[in-house]
């Protein structure tokens, strides 16, 4: 067990839930943060029952409420008895039609995917940088690697998250802090359910397994699964004038 105390933001479903469950199964004390209390309570109970001890605690929080974060962050660290790892897994992807330009939807995605990350990871980076240790994992997306026409704000939020994580790394990696950017492909979660054209779909648990492996290694940037790295290298190399004519 490398992470004695961990905090997962966006832990009520999908990749965040799977990461929280895996961490606890490996012996970590885990704090689960998300909006849906019912799901948090159920997951925490299941974790604690499986472990035979209280390894999970939870806090209800909407990541767009940035002003709550400083106190909540300190409170969670205190209740856990420390903090070695924070995973920002909260994410929102609205269904957006090709001709739809809805600032409300778009700004909400940016608020959750980027604003929430900044609210949580800024104090985490400050704390870890001060202590000279700690690991930050941000769940980005392959969608952030290119400005796809399908969902501009979602891709933008993930691209900005990647840049933000890189900038954090450039600030605090020299102090011994690992900042891990994760770019998943298609993962079988509520976010992707019902979408067409999905391939290489992996389960949240499989994604969590890979992500935690990279977290333990302190990988700078990892595609999940790894074959997406090659795919995205090709996609990134497509000239813009060509890319805008493609249906990807």
Partner 1 sequence: MVLAADRLEWVEGWGMAVGAAGYVYRPVDTSGVSDAIASARNDGVPVAVRGAGCSYGDAALAPEGVVLDLTRMNRILAWDPGTGVVDVEPGVSVEQLWRHCLADGWWPPVVTGTMAPTVGGCLAMNVHGKNNWPRGTMGDHCLELDLITADGSVRTIDRSAGGELFRAVIGGFGQLGIIVRARIRMKKVESGLVEGEAVAAPDLGGLLERLDEAKGRWEYAVGWVDAFPGGSKLGRGLLHFARHLEADEDPDPAASLNPASQDLPATLFGVVPKSIMWRLMKPFTNHLGMRAVNLAKYVQGSTIGNGSVYRQSLAAFSFLLDYVPDWKKTYLPGGLIQHQSFVPTAKAETVFAEQLEICRRRGVPSYLGVVKRHRPDDFLLTHAVDGFSLALDFPVVPGGRADLWAAVREMAEPVVAAGGRFYAAKDAALPGELYRASFAGGELERFAAIRDGVDPDWVFRSALVQRLLEV
Q: Catalytic residue numbers?
A: 154
39 vs 131, beta carbon nearer partner 1? 131
1 vs 95, beta carbon nearer partner 1? 1
Instruction: In angstroms, give the least distance from the CB of 82 to partner 1.
Output: 5
Give the integer Cα–Cα distance in Å for 28 and 26.
6
Instruction: In angstroms, give the least distance from the CB of 72 to partner 1.
Output: 11
Closest CA to 185 of 153, 219, 232, 236: 232
Q: Is the CB of residue 178 less than 8 Å from the CB of residue 134?
A: yes
Per the DSSP assignment, residues forming a β-bridge with 138 are: 88, 181
Closest CA to 208 of 32, 56, 8, 45: 8
66 vs 131, beta carbon nearer partner 1? 131
Interface residues with partner 1 (CB under 8 A) are: 1, 71, 74, 77-78, 80-83, 126-127, 130-133
**Residue 85, SS3 per DSSP:** strand
Q: How far is CA 150 from CA 103, 126, 195, 227, in A?
A: 15, 36, 12, 22
Instruction: In angstroms, give the least distance from the CB of 73 to partner 1.
Output: 10
82 vs 147, beta carbon nearer partner 1? 82
Instruction: In angstroms, give the least distance from the CB of 31 to partner 1.
Output: 12
């Amino acid at each position: 067990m490398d992470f004695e105390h961990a905090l997962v933001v966006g832990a009520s479903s999908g990749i965040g839930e799977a990461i929280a469950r895996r961490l606890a199964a490996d012996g970590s004390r885990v704090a689960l943060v998300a909006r849906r209390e019912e799901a948090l309570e159920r997951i925490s109970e299941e974790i604690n029952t499986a472990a035979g001890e209280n390894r999970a605690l939870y806090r209800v929080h909407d990541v767009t409420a940035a002003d709550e974060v400083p106190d909540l962050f300190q409170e969670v660290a205190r209740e856990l008895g420390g903090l070695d790892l924070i995973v920002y897994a909260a994410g929102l992807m609205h269904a957006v039609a090709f001709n739809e330009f809805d600032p409300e939807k778009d700004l909400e995605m940016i608020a959750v995917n980027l604003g929430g990350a900044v609210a949580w990871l800024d104090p985490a980076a400050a704390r870890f940088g001060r202590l000279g240790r700690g690991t930050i994992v941000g769940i980005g997306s392959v969608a952030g690697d290119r400005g796809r026409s399908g969902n501009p704000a979602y891709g933008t939020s993930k691209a900005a998250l990647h840049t933000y994580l890189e900038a954090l790394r450039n600030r605090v990696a020299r102090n011994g802090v690992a900042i891990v950017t994760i770019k998943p492909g298609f993962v079988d979660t509520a976010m992707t359910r019902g979408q067409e054209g999905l391939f290489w779909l992996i389960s949240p648990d499989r994604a969590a397994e890979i992500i935690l492996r990279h977290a333990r290694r302190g990988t700078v940037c990892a595609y999940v699964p790894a074959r997406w790295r090659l795919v995205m290298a090709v996609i990134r190399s497509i000239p813009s004038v060509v890319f805008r004519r493609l249906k990807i």
